[in-house]
Amino acid sequence: MKKFYNPTRSEWSEILKRPTQTVEDIEETVNQVFAEVKAKGNDAVSKYTELFDGINLEETRVSKEEVSSAEFQISEDLKQAINLAKTNIEKFHSAQKTERIEVETTNGVKCWQEKRPIQKVGLYIPGGSAPLFSTILMLAAPANIAGCKEIVLCTPPDREGNVHPAILYTAALCGVTKIFKIGGIQAIAAMTFGTENVPKVYKIFGPGNQFVTVAKQLATRHNVAIDMPAGPSELLVFADDTANAAFVASDLLSQAEHGTDSQVILVSNSKELIENVEAEVENQLNDLPRKSIAEKAIAHSRLIYTEDKNDALELINEYGPEHFIICAEDETFYTEGIQNAGSVFIGNYTPESAGDYASGTNHTLPTNGYAKQYSGVNLDSFMKSMTFQKISENGIREIGPAIKLMAEAEGLQAHKNAVSLRLKELRTK
């Protein structure tokens, strides 16, 4: 990990640069797959599943029998853990429900807002070396609470054409309506356009590699919304002398093992802690099954010493981390001062992995600095707000003259007429 001591503000942009790669070649591939899936549907999906996943499937939809048998392929302990996480996630997201908001803005002018669920949502769940069944909890559970009628899940098959049983078990538990053995670009394209088998959805959620990320962005050009721009996972920790170096190192490595393009950063006002954390990272790294992945991520990660806590906070807000851990005596300074972060974890006994799995908060979060303008997934992500208004005769008398003047000033005569005709009729009563 590279070390920096009291870097100047002019150096921050270079130090905080993400290890992102060019997407020009990726976009060309994504556009090609999208065009074929749009034109050829299932045939194109099968072609690219064989090309990218190495399996030719006659049927991509997961059968009821496969879902039923999955329950017996995972341990009771894991099922209990999944159920505990589901309970906590449902508690936290259910608490986010809001009631109808109604106000009479002027005498006789009643306005109100109500929320409606997005009817059809698509979930993308990566498979591969790390089948992220926990992401199903984070997406399907709030989708159900919101009242989404159709919840479509796509996930890549393995070389034998199977889906990890924990993914199937969790999907069934959380009320997913249809599951497909489709991964990567072709999955996003299938949910964008719809095929003979896969329904077209209105909004797509879920993480993925750079190909999936670019595919989701392309989907927005075809009248499909996405949860947020997302990229490689990242974590920033602020820790002082009150922090446990072993804990901090474990948190850094927990994000580094996600992928070679993940990034982890430690900011501290203690040089001793930085040295201790660096040593702990080396020690703990040797015991990780995904050591080769974590090593590459650690290579482009950062250890930053800042003497002044105001500079530290400003630097953190400039970075806008996906995950932000605070292990500091003056934790209030950072909790009150943080403006840009996807999710915040406070104290020595609050590991980032708690949010990934079972505390109740959502782990689908903005990366690559998008925490400056995007929220993580929440209940409202699966809903949209609709406004209503009803105006009485007295109400249109009250606001009608103002509407007429404003419409005339903008040169919109038909707008003015829509009010004038009503006011004219009322004058005859």
Strand ordering across the sheet containing 178-181: 178-181, 150-155, 120-124, 203-205, 225-226
Catalytic residue among 278, 280, 322, 352: 322
Local structure of residue 90 (DSSP, 8 states): H
Catalytic residue among 93, 164, 323, 363: 323
Gap between the Cα atoms of 410 and 408, Å rounded: 5
Q: Judge whether 164 is annotated as a binding position.
A: no
Q: Judge whether 363 is annotated as a binding position.
A: no
Beta-bridge partners for 109: 106, 391
Report residue 98 CA to chain centroid gap. 21
Gap between the Cα atoms of 212 and 328, Å rounded: 37
Gap between the Cα atoms of 81 and 77, Å rounded: 6
Gap between the Cα atoms of 316 and 127, Å rounded: 32
Gap between the Cα atoms of 280 and 253, Å rounded: 10
Residue 27 annotated in active site = no
SS3 readout for 277-321: HHHHHHHHHCCCCCHHHHHHHHHCCEEEECCCHHHHHHHHHHHCC
Residue among 256, 253, 229 at smallest CA distance from 372: 229
Q: Judge whether 255 is annotated as a binding position.
A: yes
Q: Judge whether 323 is annotated as a binding position.
A: yes
Q: Judge whether 69 is annotated as a binding position.
A: no
Beta-bridge partners for 352: none
Q: Judge whether 261 is annotated as a binding position.
A: no
Gap between the Cα atoms of 304 and 48, Å rounded: 44
Q: Judge whether 202 is annotated as a binding position.
A: no
Cβ neighbours, 10 Å, residue 311: 17
Residue 93 annotated in active site = no
Q: Judge whether 222 is annotated as a binding position.
A: no
Gap between the Cα atoms of 35 and 213, Å rounded: 17
Binding-site residue numbers for NAD(+) are 124, 186, 209
Binding-site residue numbers for Zn(2+) are 255, 258, 356, 415
Binding-site residue numbers are 124, 186, 209, 233, 255, 258, 323, 356, 410, 415
Binding-site residue numbers for substrate are 233, 255, 258, 323, 356, 410, 415
Catalytic positions: 322-323
